[in-house]
Amino acid sequence: MRFLILGGDSRNIMLAQCLAHAGHNVQMSGLGNDSENQTPIIVKIKEAINSYDYIVGPLPFTIDGENLHMPLSKDTVKLNDLIDVFTGNKVLIAGKIPVNFTEKLIENDIAVYDYLDRDEMSILNSIPTAEGAIQIAMEELPITIHGVNALVLGYGKTGKTLAGKLHALGANTYVCARKSVDFALCEVNNLYSTDYKKVDSIIQNMDVIFNTVPAIVLDSTRLSHVRRDCLIIDLASKPGGCDFDYAKENGIKIIHALSLPGKVAPITAANILYKVIEHIIDERS
């Protein structure tokens, strides 16, 4: 396959290497590799576009809603200009692509895949997220994960992987969930489980608490049960799942850890993009 990697951060450079390593024909643009003072990227892309089957854009696609996210390049590419460029039997793969942009491309017969629509992407990302969370716990705690009392709030994709790894490392792992299917899955996976009513009674025994729920589950009431030497690692995307003010006033340490895959394992993060692209290729064949 012939790939044009267009914009994005260093993850896209590593992704280009993965694709090339797998035998694909790969070209990069807007990644700081275009020689300066010359033809604008958009023109070059226009000239080159017919040589590629797949165009791989950044994640996120745009920050300001107008320009392609292209932090490693001095050049800029307007989304509006791209619409005319993307023609023919092409496939675009990128992340968080604006809806109206996607619609226009589909009108132009472009097949569009958004990473964020791919459940397997968040499942695979749960691996570096869980490891990153465990790494932080190892760094911060004066005790080993082995034998620690650990509570995982939420049993979605990240909660499942994290609880599994904590258990594998010998932590006494408790999961707090809502649904009866989750309690059943915890039993299958040899994890202690509790619900949000009963969790308060065990919270004071915890040495570390990981939150994966994007809602204020660690409110002031629940935080009031937390021991002062307990570490809280909040993995929920902004604004997180804790009453940070209450925690600060009461000397409870919370680390709000975001975007862990790119931080703790950038090559793995790029490799996950690669795997998703391979799946897409497989599905199209």
Name the site residues for a copy of itself (rule: CB under 8 A).
118-121, 123-124, 126-128, 131-132, 134-135, 138-139, 141-147, 160-161, 164-165, 168-170, 180-181, 183-185, 187-190, 195, 264-268, 271, 275-276, 279, 282-283
Q: How far is the CB of 74 from a copy of itself (least distance, A)?
A: 26
Closer Cβ to a copy of itself, 2 or 146, answer by number: 146
Q: Which residues contact 131 (CB under 8 A, 6 or more apart)?
A: 165, 260, 264, 265
CA 223 to chain centre: 27
Closer Cβ to a copy of itself, 23 or 142, answer by number: 142
Closer Cβ to a copy of itself, 5 or 264, answer by number: 264
Tell me how far CA of residue 89 lies from CA of 19, 27, 35, 73, in angstroms: 20, 18, 28, 27
Q: Which residues contact 159 (CB under 8 A, 6 or more apart)?
A: 152, 153, 175, 177, 210, 212
Element containing residue 77 per DSSP (H, E): none
Say if residues 175 and 196 touch (Cβ distance below 8 Å).
no
Q: How far is the CB of 157 from a copy of itself (least distance, A)?
A: 9
Closer Cβ to a copy of itself, 106 or 181, answer by number: 181
245/223 Cα distance (integer angstroms): 11
Closer Cβ to a copy of itself, 224 or 268, answer by number: 268
Give the residue from 183, 220, 215, 184 showing the smallest Cα distance to 200.
220
Closer Cβ to a copy of itself, 108 or 172, answer by number: 172
Closer Cβ to a copy of itself, 255 or 267, answer by number: 267
Say if residues 269 and 131 touch (Cβ distance below 8 Å).
no
Q: How far is the CB of 76 from a copy of itself (least distance, A)?
A: 29
Q: How far is the CB of 184 from a copy of itself (least distance, A)?
A: 4
Q: How far is the CB of 183 from a copy of itself (least distance, A)?
A: 7
169/210 Cα distance (integer angstroms): 15
Closer Cβ to a copy of itself, 87 or 189, answer by number: 189
Structure tokens at 46: 């226009």
Q: How far is the CB of 269 from a copy of itself (least distance, A)?
A: 9
Q: How far is the CB of 130 from a copy of itself (least distance, A)?
A: 8
Q: How far is the CB of 211 from a copy of itself (least distance, A)?
A: 20
The one-letter code for the residue type at 228 is R
Tell me how far CA of residue 132 lies from CA of 129, 204, 229, 235, 240, in angstroms: 5, 24, 21, 10, 17
SS3 of 117, please?
A: helix
